[in-house]
Structure 1
Amino acid sequence: MAAISDQWIGALYGAIEEPGRWVALMDLLRRDFQVECVAAQLLVAAQGGRALPVWGTRDSHSERHGRLHDSWANTPANPRFGRPIGPMPETEILSDARSLAYSSQDRRQLSNGLARCGLGPAFWMSHRLDKDHRFTLIFHRNVDDRRDMDPREEAMLTRMAPHMQQAARLWMRMSEAEAKAEWLTQAHDATGTAMLACDRDLRLHWCNGPARAMLAQGDRLRLRHGHLAAVGRADHEGLTALVEGRTDRGVMAMGGMDQTALHLRASPFTPMPGRSGLPRDLLLLTIACPEDAVHYAPEDLSLLFGITLTEAALASCLAAGGSVSEFAAARGITEGTARLHLKRVLAKTGAGRQSELVRRIGGSVAGARRAL
């Protein structure tokens, strides 16, 4: 049976961590199979049972001719994408000539369409990853080469199949994990609250956008050789005690008096049983600055509480620490008129008094923290 090279296996598993290596992998396959082009595609089931590409890569020669190749081969006009995605075996090694999914009209359309975009017939190896996705490695011959997949090529694909299937599944899982991690980072940024992860030695492992901004400012906390450090000696000693678990409540106040205060809470990380990859002494530090203003967009308050924009502007002012008289002066109205607005806001929201209104607004999703 035809052998596969160690170079190919190394390139395959290297592409899982470094997506840029997929092109080099396709180049190796193009050389070993002596074909016009090699491409890898992740396909997903679409409406009507069609399989549509959601990701793809190809060899460097094909990248240079990508516009020509894609002019037909990578469009819904290609009958190959009309083949039902399931049910199908875990692994499929097939060719245009051997596929039973094509009608005679499909075959003519396929042959003519491929020729127009500079490609010959194809053979492929496809793996089912889950009920909706499959990963396909497809080889196209030269436009003048009409041969079907030969026994040597089929044998090589058979030997490659277990490696390709495992690598495709690992790559898909890593891609999903990275996408989820990025989404969670964006979610953390949206809260406006500084969050970071460090170990017991104060080595930083992760931080969100607000925490990066706080560390860059460096007035209370900063990074020193990859480790967190408080500016003042007493604050640093307190921070060390906090992350080492030597405080009663897992919270501390840093600064204060004539300095900007920071409030910190340490939450220990609980690793999943049997999982590794993160330090077992990891902590999540949530950091807040009590002096930061919280802005409540009147448009949001209007939608959330069913009040007019004018009433919402007053509510926003009060929730941010302002007074009725300050709102009246800013809007150029009398304080009596402003109090009539407040009376309507209390009635519409069901709040008995101004303090209750502020509490309700503070508990809503309307607030966005911004530094003074």
Structure 2
Amino acid sequence: MLQYKPIADHNTVSLDGVSAQALSDTIGAIYDCALDPHQWPDACRSISDLCESSAGGICVHDMKHTQNDQLFVFGYQTEFLEKLGSHYMQSPMAEADIVSNIGDVRALSMNPSDLLGTRFFRDVLKPFGIQDIIWFPALRTAGRMASMHASRRVNVEHYQKRDIDLFRLLAPHVSRALAISDALDIRTLNSEILERTLDALVAGVFLTAGDGRVVYMNAAAERQIRTGNSIRIINNRLSPIDRAARAALSRAIEQAGSDDVDIDMTAYSLAIPDAQGTGYVATVLPVQSGRRRSTVAPFAASCAVFMQDPVQAPLMPGEAFARLHQLTGSELRVLLALAQGLGGKEAADMLGISEPTVRTHLKHIFSKTGTSRQTKLLQLLHNSTPPIRAPQRTVL
């Protein structure tokens, strides 16, 4: 029989077999994670220890890309996590989470008759000696959900009411801590704002894990993969069509994702050609540690690959470039006309001014930008071009 009793100075309860101090320390550790997500591995272990579990952690389910990323996990074999990720959408957990509320605790053993005969049990759990998983949805945002879980192996009994009640007791605290981290845009989960920002880039952005798996693609990267002229994804890894490029990219990603990589190493660029003599220029950048790691850690990435199409023309800098160099509106109009490849006469005709006026504006622009030749001026403008695509307009 479960016995609940108040803990002095804390708005929580104690479970039989769990000391008040252990429960209080664990809840405190959970809230410490809100401001320092690096502490989640220890907090996950503490929670799992309280319910006598051999493995556990936090999982992010990306419904948009049908992806399952394990964060802060311990006690699992890599092969099991890969199997769990590929079979998650067909698992009893996914089915339950569709209708579950945040904090609803479930265990696979609650419905043993619905589990033992399933392919999920036969192909995913049984080969790795796992007989029961307990979990709850802890945070839900657009397109993805995070859950905390723990598991027991076959030589331990299934989760009992005591364990489920313990998880129910801790679930609100875990959910609040994750919500705080997500609101503060700290490294706990995929950031919706970061994802929207990356989707605005002209360059394809691929983030890969240490083993080369692609864990995130922005919108431009997805378009590049769908086209399939230069780059594809095979076995969840980037695979250029060109054999030499495939080997070179694989080496670059492996080097960038190694544990002993120098985070300040110069970015490595290579060609990703297609059969028509065009293609992409790829830049590989390590994100294993340091400040760069804090930016992309929500995607559990150790390497970033930027895939740029040299032919694509992004948005011209316009007003920002004019403000930087104190150009007048008339001078900027002349500069943008010349940037389109027009000569002085064509620019004058398009703008409705005389050719001498174009030359006068150009002279002033040279003086303000510290250039003396049109090629240098246009190069300066090109170097100031933002890496984003002009918004698409629907013509009715």
Q: Which has the larger radius of gyration?
A: 1
User: Normalised by the shorter chain, which TM-score bucket?
Assistant: 0.3 to 0.5
TM-score (norm 2): 0.45
TM-score (norm 1): 0.48
